Amino acid sequence: MDVFGIHVPSTTPVFLAFLAVHVLAALVAVVSGAAAMLVRRKGRGRHTRFGTMYFSAICTVAATATALAVMRLREDYHLLLLGVLALVLAVTGREARRRHWPGDTVHIAGMGGSYVVMLTAFYVDNGSQLPVWDRLPTIAYWLTPVLVGAPLMWQAISRARHRAALATDHGVRSPTR
């Protein structure tokens, strides 16, 4: 069965139900994750609300990805591994903030890394069926999100460290706390 040009590998009602929840949660994760990253002022407020929404959505994405992959484990085991990795990174990033680990590096790398892994899983699973992406070699589905996301995370970590250093130099607390 094809939906909007994307091949759906099973038409069983259980698979389709999990897939529907998975797609909706992934859309929420993509939008809320981007919003959390793009909010200019980090800390309490919109960044935290979008981050909490992203975390809930990525938990749902990982849970439904697990269910979907288990139904087709031989074909989709790599998607199960990517789902687990995205969840582990998100939990690590969230815990870094909640437990007040020093600095922002682990938080940014964890949450940003989970976003990159989520996009990687999407492209690995669907890239060959997407316009433009269908012309790329398979390795591009694996590498492109990392090649785009890693420099952006590095830049965010560098900015956070710079802000923290300025705050320390002026004897004030970092605005991200």
Instruction: Flag whether 32 is in a domain.
Output: yes
Domain total of the chain? 1
Instruction: Flag whether 174 is in a domain.
Output: no
Which pLDDT belongs to residue 90?
98
Instruction: Flag whether 143 is in a domain.
Output: yes
Name 146's bridge partners.
none
Note if the pTM is more than 0.75: yes
Instruction: Flag whether 22 is in a domain.
Output: yes
User: Considering only CA atoms, which of 101, 63, 97, 60 is closest in space to residue 80?
Assistant: 63
Q: Say whether pLDDT at 109 is over 50.
A: yes
Instruction: Flag whether 78 is in a domain.
Output: yes
Please write the tens of the pLDDT for every residue from 144-176: 999 999 999 999 999 989 988 888 777 655 555
Domain around 66: 2-169
Which pLDDT belongs to residue 171?
66
Instruction: Flag whether 64 is in a domain.
Output: yes
Instruction: Flag whether 10 is in a domain.
Output: yes
Instruction: Flag whether 57 is in a domain.
Output: yes
